[in-house]
Amino acid sequence: MISPEEFTKALSDQTRLRILMLLTQIEELCVCQLTEALEMTQPKISRHLAILREKEILLDKRQDQWIFYRLHPKLADWCLQTILALASGSINLQPYKTDINKIKTSNLPKSLCI
């Protein structure tokens, strides 16, 4: 189980927090959707996803050539409640609001996902 120190350290990076805020609103996202919404390179997004996956905050699922990420279903309740509380208080603030709008209005073809 993740310690409070490890958990808050994982949340302390703005990119990781933006990823988590997106995943509170949209159940699953692939790397390409995250790179487009956050306007960051795939290696940078993947590095942050790896940290969240290593801490068992996220779970990944491979589907053909795509890798989809979602909140880990076995995430400790206190961790999930913390993430949801952060989302509740910040989802209408920048940059989170813009990130969500980019995902919802994206016309990204699935073939571009990695």
Query: What CATH number corresponds to the domain at position 24?
Result: 1.10.10.10
The answer to whether the CB of 34 falls within 8 A of the CB of 52 is no
pLDDT digits (tens, 9 = 90+) for 53-105: 999 999 999 988 889 999 999 999 999 999 999 999 999 999 999 999 999 89
Position 114 in a domain: no
Position 113 in a domain: no
51: Cβ contacts below 8 Å, ≥ 6 apart? 10, 13, 16
pLDDT of residue 10: 97
Q: Residue 51: give the domain boundaries.
A: 4-100
In angstroms, rounded to a whole number, what is the distance separating the alpha carbons of residues 93 and 77? 25
- DSSP structural state of residue 106: -
Position 77 in a domain: yes
Overall domain count for the chain: 1
Position 109 in a domain: no
CA dihedral 101, 104, 105, 108 (to 10 degrees): 120
Position 40 in a domain: yes
- Strand pairing category for 66-71 and 29-30: antiparallel
Q: Is the pTM of this model over 0.95?
A: no
Position 78 in a domain: yes
